[in-house]
Chains A and B, each alone.
Chain A
Amino acid sequence: MSNREPDFGGAPSVTAAPERPEEQKAAETAVAHVGGALRQTSLWSDAWRQLRRNPFFVVGGLMFLTFTAMAVVPKLFTRIDPRACDISNSAQGPSADAWFGYDVYGCDYYANVIYGARKSMSIGLITIIGVLIIGLVVGALSGYYGGWTDSVLARITDVFYGLPLILGALVLLSVLTTRGVWQISLALIVFGWMTAMRLVRATVVSVKEADYVQAARALGSSTRRVLSRHILPNAVAPLLVYSTIAVGGIIAAEATLSFLGIGLQRPAFSWGLQIDASQNRLRDAAHLLLFPSLFLSLTVLSFILMGDALRDALDPKLR
């Protein structure tokens, strides 16, 4: 098939006569299918085409790239050492020297906030990977085998659904002696995998009796192969949409836990900790609250913008 893209939606597709017969034939089929516009028709290329034109996705994506860069190489954004503090500057407001002012200990707040991106992003990444692994395994087992397996797994899922994420993570983290990136990710995975599981289960149930799956089975494919090659690829699109939005929620949850004093611990750089440390200074040093809150919210926003756009692009029903 041709890879040419028409510049405008309704532009006539065949302008020059194709030289080789097969190309001509290909062109004709394409014309017959899409009525004038020559284009690839796979779900992903369609979605990508739509996404590139979606301003929300572009903005969200650019913010995402910025925060990722901030997490990986914070030195790109600031040369100031966030631990070089001068107590005489304590809680000074923003100025030309220090764009975000200084925190209570007189450390440069801009550098502190920049360095806060790393913990948030890594917890978001680790947690979503864990959630997807558990969700895929449990959801596939539950949906594919049905019957008793399904009932038991569904009850277990209900148990976890009954416990609010923050509450469950709070209790689990309170009994752990150290609380770092891994422990917090673990707590968020343990109480956050259920939606992914239900998504996978729903997909598996809806396609496991389909003709092509039965055909694969009749050809002697193992259960594992049927699941991984024929059934689970159907879950990729909904899972992608879900996980993009979920990462935003995870980052917000981590900040909430750190804010409640049960997440990351000082001296880690974390937006939740920074907000917690400055909540008593609302009256006289509101900038201490403003900047980490702003960065935190923008990070969450970037994931939600991308997720919303992805859903619009990947769900053909919405077109």
Chain B
Amino acid sequence: MGRYVARRLLLMIPVLIGASFLIFWMVYALPGDPIRALGGDRPLPPAVVAQLREDFNLNDPLLVQYAKYVGGLLQGDFGTAFNGRPVIDTITQRLPVTIRLALVAIGFEIVIGILAGILAGIRRGSYFDNLVLVSTTFVVSIPVFVLGFIAQYTLGLKLGIFPIAGVNEGLYSYILPGLVLASLSLAYVARLTRTSLAENVRNDYVRTARAKGLKPSVVIGKHTLRNSLIPVVTFIGADLGALLGGAIVTESVFNIPGLGRAVYDGVRNQEGVLVVGIVTMFVFFYIFFNLLVDLLYAVLDPRIRYE
């Protein structure tokens, strides 16, 4: 187990370097001059431009720039954006918002997704089963930002239950965006639970449990679910990593000051350092949670052993 973890951690390094370099390259090597953009409509004096280019290492070859950047990163220095604000400040300020949003979304996936999946899976072909199948198909088909507008219009504007933008009402204001962010994964969780449960219900040990005269709730809740939820748990774990980096659209629609919003603003304002820093962190989350999920597999399913 220890060796497996070590090997996986080592494998994370080239992926992290590759992903951050890819973003770095796109931001810095492709056309577009962030320094000139700083001046807006009035061009900056040449001396200022030269000084700024020197300060941000823009005169070095790309690989040297990247090496300097990674060197700083290893010492916990995420660099400074062109507007003079340290990137780490933006991250520490915005990260809690994004984490809260992702956790609310995961909560919806667990509660609604698994529950719907179980109810559909126990009675395949029932009315509820078909309802889940049809509604998940629709949810998957509607792009997230459209879903966001539907939620804003119906639950926010017409019914007035939820605030439609911002995070001024504490955790309550995260409910609607969280639900929208979760929607796609929620549909997958419901389908995954349904399929997995329906497969397991046919097993011999379930029949034995029934034959012993156990109550149906115990047969499902204690005997069947334990096995059926393994793929679901791993999906949700990996999804947490994806959600932390995938909230750009939701945060834009609901005007939430999270990391996704920060990276979006960074892209539009050509704040290269900020974009590279945050995206590298997203990639780290994504890989890290995937690793965690693989290890979780061994805990949940004793048949799996990592050598």
A residues at B contact (CB < 8 Å): 155-156, 158-164, 166-168, 170-172, 174-177, 248, 252, 255-256, 259-262, 275, 279, 282-283, 286, 289, 293, 296-298, 300-301, 304-305, 308
Asked if residues A156 and B146 are in contact (CB atoms below 8 Å), the reply is: no
CB of B187, distance to nearest CB on chain A (Å): 11
- Give, as a whole number of angstroms, the nearest-CB distance from A54 to chain B: 13
Q: How far is the CA of A286 from the CA of B157 in the complex (A)?
A: 11
A248 to B143, CA, bound (A): 10
Would you call A166 and B249 a contact (CB within 8 A)? yes
The reply to whether A286 and B137 form a contact with Cβ atoms under 8 Å apart is no
Cβ–Cβ contact B14 & A167, under 8 A: no
State the Cβ distance, B25 to closest chain A Cβ, in Å: 10
Please count how many residues in chain B sit with their CB below 8 Å of the partner chain's CB atoms.
Answer: 45
Q: A159-B15, A293-B146 are in contact. Are A167 and B279 (CB under 8 A)?
A: yes
Query: Distance (Å) between the CB of B279 and the closest chain A CB?
Result: 6
A156-B18, A167-B245 known; A297 vs B142 contact (CB < 8 Å):
yes
Q: Are A275's CB and B137's CB within 8 A?
A: no
Looking at the complex, which one of B141, B144, B283 makes contact with A163 (CB distance below 8 Å)? B283
A300-B143 contact, Cβ under 8 Å, with A172-B26, A293-B149: yes
Give residues of chain B (9-37) contacting chain A, Cβ–Cβ below 8 Å. Answer: 11, 14-16, 18-19, 22-23, 26-27, 30-32
Could you name 23 residue pairs across A and B whose Cβ atoms are closer than 8 Å?
A: A155-B14, A155-B15, A158-B15, A159-B14, A162-B286, A163-B282, A164-B246, A164-B286, A167-B246, A167-B248, A171-B275, A174-B268, A174-B270, A175-B31, A176-B30, A177-B31, A256-B144, A259-B145, A260-B249, A260-B252, A297-B141, A297-B142, A308-B137
Give 9 nearest A-B pairs by CB, closest first: A159-B18, A301-B141, A175-B30, A162-B283, A252-B143, A293-B146, A300-B141, A174-B267, A297-B142
Complex CA–CA separation, A304 to B184 (angstroms): 13
B143 touches A164 (CB 8 A): no
Docked-complex contact B15 and A300, CB < 8 angstroms: no
- B239-261 contact mask (Cβ, 8 Å, vs A): 1 or 0: 00010011011001100000000
Contact partner, A256, options B30, B141, B145, B287, Cβ 8 Å: B145
B4 at the interface (CB under 8 A from A): no
Chain B contacts of A296 at CB under 8 A? Answer: 143, 146
Complex Cα gap A176–B32 (Å):
8
**A301 vs B143: C-alpha distance when bound (angstroms):** 10
- Whether the pair A289, B149 counts as a contact (CB closer than 8 A) is yes
A282 near B153 with CB under 8 A, answer yes
Q: How far is the CB of B56 from chain A (nearest CB, A)?
A: 16
Query: Which residues of B in the span 121-138 have a Cβ within 8 Å of any Cβ on A?
Result: 137-138
Chain B residues numbered 205-235 whose CB sits less than 8 Å from any CB in chain A: none
CB-nearest residue of chain B to A157: B15
Instruction: Report which of B142, B153, B242 forms a contact with A164, defined as CB distance below 8 A.
Output: B242
**B152 close to A (CB within 8 Å):** yes
User: Once the chains are docked, how many angstroms separate the CA of A304 from the CA of B150?
Assistant: 20
Given contacts A155-B14, A162-B15, A163-B19, contact A283 B157 (CB under 8 A): yes
* Complex interface: chain A residues within 8 A of B145 (CB): 255-256, 259, 275
B186 at the interface (CB under 8 A from A): no
Q: How distant is B173 from chain A, measured CB to nearest CB, in Å?
A: 17
Q: Which residues of B contact A166 (CB under 8 A)?
A: 246, 248-249
Given contacts A162-B282, A163-B283, 16 further A-B contacts (CB under 8 A): A155-B18, A156-B18, A158-B15, A159-B14, A162-B15, A162-B287, A163-B23, A164-B286, A166-B249, A170-B267, A176-B31, A252-B143, A255-B145, A256-B145, A282-B152, A293-B146
Complex contact B141–A164 (CB within 8 A): no
Flag whether B189 is at the interface (Cβ < 8 A).
Answer: no
Whether the Cβ atoms of B157 and A282 lie closer than 8 Å is yes
